[in-house]
């Protein structure tokens, strides 16, 4: 049983002998962050401080799907749940996260629409909302598997370079470290906006930062256009152009993010921050430098 303090979410970690933290990632539906979250936490499969299992209901987010993954998740020996879902303001993913949060420390990762429910989450579970992980342009005449995967390719580039992914990893690593070091657990309550992302980007050139910031805002705009084109606009010609425009926009956001990284390369100044086998960070900037 976990006690929550209302204002500062502190979970007293149970003293453990085990060195390895068991993380269970529970996924329903797809965001870009859904695709690589385990690898972001253990990029070279070399961390000895964590063990990850994931379960997913695939693209579907119906009650039956979510119930199934909840049961699967509960069957796994877990120290920390990470729930990843688009639009966590829907009952399905919200309750999934809250239910798991009753058992173990739980972090919900979602996109912009989840902002609506953060008050409901406080004191119960942590959350990380990534503003620039946008809704896809979900129209039947438009969104085939290739349009979908190509879109995700572009979003991954934006989230990688603008700092959003590193912000996410940082927050989770803080929790992992706290648990493994028997310190109080402060679950994250974070909205990754443009400045938050940028502060983790490791970018140093101010124009690289400006490009990354613009790329991040473009990705947010993608979400608004996808919502307009996918749900609100009723004129068929218009909604097809709007969802297609949203995908042109994410392609351009990815190109701009890439420009930012290329600038850092010209200075041999790409910030790299790996997890060593104990889960600690080692950082460097020059490609041929040692840690």
Instruction: Report the nearest approach of its own copies to the CB of residue 127 (Å).
Output: 20
- Phi, psi of 278, deg, nearest 5: -90, 0
Torsion of CA 3, 5, 6, 8, to 10 degrees: -130
Nearest alpha carbon to residue 243 among 253, 255, 231: 231
**Are the CB atoms for 257 and 203 separated by under 8 Å?**
no
Instruction: Report the nearest approach of its own copies to the CB of residue 221 (Å).
Output: 6
Q: Which is nearer to its own copies, 111 or 121 (CB)?
A: 111
Instruction: Report the nearest approach of its own copies to the CB of residue 77 (Å).
Output: 9
Instruction: Report the nearest approach of its own copies to the CB of residue 143 (Å).
Output: 6
Instruction: Report the nearest approach of its own copies to the CB of residue 207 (Å).
Output: 4
**Are the CB atoms for 106 and 83 separated by under 8 Å?**
yes
Q: Which is nearer to its own copies, 120 or 258 (CB)?
A: 258
Torsion of CA 139, 143, 149, 150, to 10 degrees: -100
Q: Which is nearer to its own copies, 71 or 182 (CB)?
A: 71
Q: Which is nearer to its own copies, 167 or 190 (CB)?
A: 167
Q: Which is nearer to its own copies, 2 or 173 (CB)?
A: 173
Q: Which is nearer to its own copies, 179 or 218 (CB)?
A: 218
Instruction: Report the nearest approach of its own copies to the CB of residue 122 (Å).
Output: 26
Burial of 107 (0-12, 13-18, 19+ CB in 10 A): buried
Instruction: Report the nearest approach of its own copies to the CB of residue 192 (Å).
Output: 15
- The CA–CA distances, whole Å, from 59 to 35, 45, 111, 144 equal 11, 26, 15, 13
**Are the CB atoms for 107 and 127 separated by under 8 Å?**
yes
Instruction: Report the nearest approach of its own copies to the CB of residue 106 (Å).
Output: 18
Q: Which is nearer to its own copies, 159 or 179 (CB)?
A: 159
DSSP state of 92: H
- CA R_g for the chain: 19
Angle (deg, nearest 10), helices 236-266 and 206-227: 160
3-state secondary structure of 44: coil
**Cα–Cα distance for residue pair 28/12, rounded to 1 Å:** 28
Q: Which is nearer to its own copies, 11 or 73 (CB)?
A: 73
């Amino acid at each position: 049983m976990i006690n929550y303090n209302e204002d500062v979410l502190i979970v007293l970690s149970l003293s453990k002998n085990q060195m390895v933290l068991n993380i269970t990632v529970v996924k329903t539906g797809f965001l870009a962050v859904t695709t690589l979250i385990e690898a972001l936490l253990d990029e070279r499969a070399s961390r000895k401080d964590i063990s990850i299992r994931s379960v997913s209901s695939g693209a579907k987010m119906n009650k039956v799907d979510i119930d199934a993954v909840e049961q699967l998740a509960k069957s796994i020996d877990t120290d920390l749940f990470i729930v990843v879902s688009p639009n966590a303001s829907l009952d399905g993913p919200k309750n999934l996260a809250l239910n798991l949060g009753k058992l173990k420390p739980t972090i919900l990762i979602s996109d912009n629409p989840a902002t609506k429910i953060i008050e409901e989450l406080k004191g119960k579970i942590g959350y990380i909302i990534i503003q620039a992980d946008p809704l896809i342009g979900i129209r039947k005449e438009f969104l085939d598997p290739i349009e979908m995967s190509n879109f995700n390719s572009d979003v991954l580039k934006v989230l990688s370079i603008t700092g959003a992914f590193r912000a996410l990893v940082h927050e989770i690593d803080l929790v992992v470290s706290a648990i493994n070091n028997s310190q109080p657990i402060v679950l994250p309550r974070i909205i990754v906006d443009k400045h938050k992302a940028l502060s983790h980007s490791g970018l140093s050139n101010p124009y690289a930062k400006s490009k990354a910031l613009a790329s991040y805002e473009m990705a947010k705009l993608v979400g608004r256009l996808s919502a307009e084109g996918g749900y609100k606009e009723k004129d068929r010609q218009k909604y097809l152009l709007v969802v297609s425009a949203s995908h042109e926009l994410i392609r351009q956001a990815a190109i701009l993010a890439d420009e930012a990284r290329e600038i850092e390369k010209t200075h041999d100044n790409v910030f790299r921050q790996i997890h060593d086998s104990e889960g600690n960070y080692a950082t460097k900037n020059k490609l041929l430098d040692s840690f």
